[in-house]
Amino acid sequence: MSLRVSGVAHRYGNGPIVLVDVDLEVEADDTLAIVGPSGSGKTTLLSIMGGLLQPTEGEVVLDGFVVGREELPSGSLSWIFQTINLLGRRTALDNVALGLLALGYSVDEARERARTMLETVGLRGLEDRPAMTLSGGEAQRVGVARALVGRPRYVLTDEPTGQLDRSTSLLVADALFTARPAGTAIVVASHDPLLADRCRRRYELVDGRLRALS
């Protein structure tokens, strides 16, 4: 079982080709970074891998399901974006627990698991704080907790430290890799070495082509 990208190419309209014949396989428990400058196609590739964008050519298959054409198993994939869209008036705990309710957990179990995950990402004592009162780094760690609490098989994260200073970025990186459940694979698209260096495998996008880094 894996998340497999096969022969993916993409262009926007009549513009230049953004991705060229990309092949990539992400297996269970993998950690993988895709690096490159702004405009290199990192977000495009991640969006295709997660089904937010259909490739011009090629396909992505997640555990046997064609992404974007077939309904994926519930809870198999989650996202962490650069801008965390939390429910501002709801507490940190609520923001993490709500996704579990959608997966069929009871209210008590969802809240207990959310509380444990928030503690794991270093937010003990902030569970009942409205999301709108959290700092940027705290909100981003709530986003990490929200993405991981359901124990998805794959987490796609797009520049999660892009708007944070170095010390706060380190806290978010620590939270992401410390709280990662066993068996969960993480794919990071980022130019931040704090994140890329924590991954077992690293790839670079150059002129739309993906190449492995040593």
- From CA 133, how far away is CA 114, in angstroms rounded? 19
Q: Does 79 fall in a domain? A: yes
Q: Does 205 fall in a domain? A: yes
Identify the H or E element spanning 99: helix 92-102
Is 113 in contact with 100 (CB distance < 8 Å)?
yes
Q: What is the pLDDT of residue 163?
A: 85
Q: Does 200 fall in a domain? A: yes
Q: Does 76 fall in a domain? A: yes
Residue for token pair 């198993």: 73
**Whose CA is closest to 59, among 29, 108, 84, 24?**
24
- CATH number of the domain to which 131 belongs: 3.40.50.300
- For the chain of 214 residues, list the mean pLDDT of each consecutive stretch of 10: 96 93 96 92 96 96 94 93 90 96 94 97 96 95 97 95 90 94 95 90 95 88
**Whose CA is closest to 141, among 172, 168, 164?**
172
Q: Does 153 fall in a domain? A: yes
Burial group, residue 207, by CB count within 10 angstroms (0-12, 13-18, 19+) = exposed
Count the domains in the chain.
1
Q: What is the pLDDT of residue 92?
A: 98
Q: Does 113 fall in a domain? A: yes
Phi, psi (5° rounding) for residue 189?
-105, 115
* Interstrand relation of 31-35 and 201-206 (parallel, antiparallel or unpaired): parallel
**What one-character DSSP code corresponds to residue 91?**
B
Model pTM above 0.85: yes
Q: Which domain does 40 fall in, by range?
A: 2-209
- From CA 98, how far away is CA 130, in angstroms rounded? 14
Is 186 in contact with 46 (CB distance < 8 Å)?
no
Q: What is the pLDDT of residue 114?
A: 98
Q: Does 214 fall in a domain? A: no
Q: What is the pLDDT of residue 22?
A: 98
Identify the H or E element spanning 167: helix 166-179
Structure tokens at 151: 């124990």
Q: Does 55 fall in a domain? A: yes
